């Protein structure tokens, strides 16, 4: 039997958390070292499977299958394809750099890292499993620790933000749970046996009415986590209140669970339902893009800027999913990865400034590049990635989404709940990049450039271990921006089989739903 890479990736942070239970609370440095080692192991293993993945074969690889509850068709089944593998790598990069970015933490270090590692184990599980039962179980494990992490270690209305985030996400997971149970029961009746196996569930031909109903449940359930307007209000508050590592995980990874779930358990299972709701998704995602960008433009707090920026950028992910073609969905997956790295870099840098200045108010800063040139350089790179500068990975993702959307079948958006002009929406989405450039350049100018302020002469630039996450995250943005095929080849190997499965249903469903013959 080959080495169980995926189980090792999931267990490494859990083993690290277990070891910490037996370490005295006073041993802060040892606790941090254990957290760093356990997350470094996940990073190494993730890089190994990323390099070893055979794009020529495609499909699920590094499979692990153990029968668990045979009567109900629940199996411990793991495997990654070209869609989930980049998400595994993203999670490993963000959690390792998040631990290093939290090296200066002094408050209840033991409990903080235990909860953080439990949370990330759940995230790894969501991306690695091929069983819908485990998918939902890991999904819940990834969400619940956020409440504790924000309520105890957060700032800026932390109890309110933690409760709001948890309630919103639990409501969303309730919608998703109804969809999971309905799919499980329907497929069991069709197959003659019960199963939670994701590829098997995708092979079932579901009734059109059932697809429209359950896809909507999945859209709402995972839409909370994306976050999709108007279900987004928990997200910026959560970003602002969370401590640095949790903000990095929240924006960098947890929001991607929504987009990933919508592709894996929405489009893959219910392509005709996706066609019906595609016009609604397209319209809402444009609101995401424009509304999030314009609200970010007037924010006074650095974290709120990135928080609303994330709402805007995740709108591009939804747009790629709505267009329902190989190019657009490949772009959506690439955008999830690129946005995750970019926001993790943003929050690592903002956390460094806040820990010393004890404020994130943009108006109070100015000329910080004099005191913190390395921080300023990292922030400029993150900002340029945010506005889609060629040579950085976000440009590749947004380019694929725009091309895929503009060339999408227009008939797809003339059926279902209502008709929308998809080319016009694609143009509006492109204009969102202009708004992004305005608020990014504004923040960079007012925070880091201009005359030096003596008030901030005590601030120290990043050095030593603080530079490691900055270098890694900047390096990843540049690497996949300059050599995008390192990522796009793997993504295509997962998206092409998905669309081969979905396309026949899409072509037939346009006629069923009243499209042009």
pLDDT tens-digit map of 285-319: 888 888 888 888 888 888 888 888 888 888 889 88
Q: What is the DSSP letter of 517?
A: -
Distance CA 248, CA 348 (A): 7
Amino acid 516: pLDDT: 41
Query: What distances in angstroms separate CA 360 from CA 156, 353, 447, one per listed residue?
Result: 11, 8, 10
Query: What distances in angstroms separate CA 174 from CA 169, 170, 177, 339, one per listed residue?
Result: 9, 6, 5, 27
Amino acid 265: pLDDT: 86
Task: Decide if 470 contacts 374 (C-beta within 8 A).
Answer: yes
Residues of the chain predicted below pLDDT 50: 1, 515-517
Task: Decide if 410 contacts 324 (C-beta within 8 A).
Answer: no
What is the model's pTM? 0.91
Could you give the angle at the alpha carbon of 65 between the alpha carbons of 64 and 71, nearest 5°? Answer: 160
């Amino acid at each position: 039997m080959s080495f169980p890479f995926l189980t090792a990736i999931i267990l490494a942070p859990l083993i690290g958390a277990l070891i910490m239970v037996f370490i005295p609370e006073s041993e802060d440095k040892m606790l941090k070292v254990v957290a760093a080692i356990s997350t470094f192991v996940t990073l190494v293993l993730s890089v190994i499977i990323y390099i070893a993945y055979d794009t020529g074969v495609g499909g699920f690889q590094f499979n692990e299958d153990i029968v668990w509850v045979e009567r109900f068709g629940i199996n411990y089944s793991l495997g990654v394809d070209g869609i989930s593998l980049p998400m595994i790598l993203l999670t490993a990069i963000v959690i390792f750099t998040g631990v290093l970015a939290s090296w200066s933490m002094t408050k209840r270090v033991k409990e903080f890292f235990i909860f953080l590692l439990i949370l990330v184990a759940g995230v790894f599980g969501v991306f690695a499993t091929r069983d819908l039962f485990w998918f939902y179980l890991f999904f819940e494990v990834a969400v619940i620790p956020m409440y504790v992490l924000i309520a105890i270690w957060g700032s800026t209305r932390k109890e309110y933000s933690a409760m709001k985030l948890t309630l919103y996400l639990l409501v969303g997971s309730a919608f998703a749970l109804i969809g999971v149970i309905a799919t499980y029961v329907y497929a069991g009746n069709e197959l003659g046996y019960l199963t939670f196996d994701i590829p098997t569930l995708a092979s079932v031909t579901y009734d059109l009415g059932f697809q429209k109903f359950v896809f909507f449940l999945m859209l709402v359930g995972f839409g909370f986590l994306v976050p999709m307007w108007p279900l987004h209000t928990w997200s910026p508050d959560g970003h602002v209140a969370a401590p640095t590592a949790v903000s990095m995980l929240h924006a960098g990874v947890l929001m991607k669970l929504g987009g990933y779930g919508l592709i894996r358990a929405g489009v893959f299972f219910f392509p005709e339902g996706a066609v019906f709701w595609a016009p609604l998704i397209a319209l809402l995602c444009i609101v995401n893009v424009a509304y999030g960008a314009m609200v970010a433009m007037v924010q006074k707090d650095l974290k709120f800027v990135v928080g609303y920026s994330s709402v805007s950028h995740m709108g591009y992910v939804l747009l790629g999913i709505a267009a329902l073609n190989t190019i657009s969905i490949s772009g959506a997956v690439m955008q999830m990865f690129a946005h995750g790295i970019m926001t993790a870099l943003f929050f690592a840098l903002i956390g460094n400034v806040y820990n010393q200045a004890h404020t994130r108010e943009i108006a109070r800063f100015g000329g910080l590049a004099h005191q913190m040139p390395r921080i300023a350089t990292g922030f400029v790179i993150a900002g340029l990635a945010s506005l889609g500068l060629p040579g950085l990975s976000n440009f590749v993702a947004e380019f694929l989404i725009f091309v895929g959307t503009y060339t999408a079948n227009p008939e797809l958006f003339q059926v279902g709940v209502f008709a929308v002009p998809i080319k016009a929406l694609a143009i509006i989405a492109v204009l969102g990049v202009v708004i992004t450039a305005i608020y990014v350049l504004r923040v960079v100018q007012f925070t880091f450039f201009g005359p030096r302020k003596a008030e901030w002469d005590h601030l120290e630039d990043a050095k030593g271990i603080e530079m490691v996450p900055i270098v890694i995250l900047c390096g990843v943005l540049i690497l996949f921006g300059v050599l995008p095929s390192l990522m796009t080849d793997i993504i295509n190997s997962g998206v092409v089989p998905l669309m081969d499965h979905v396309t026949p249903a899409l072509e037939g469903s346009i006629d069923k739903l009243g499209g042009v013959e």
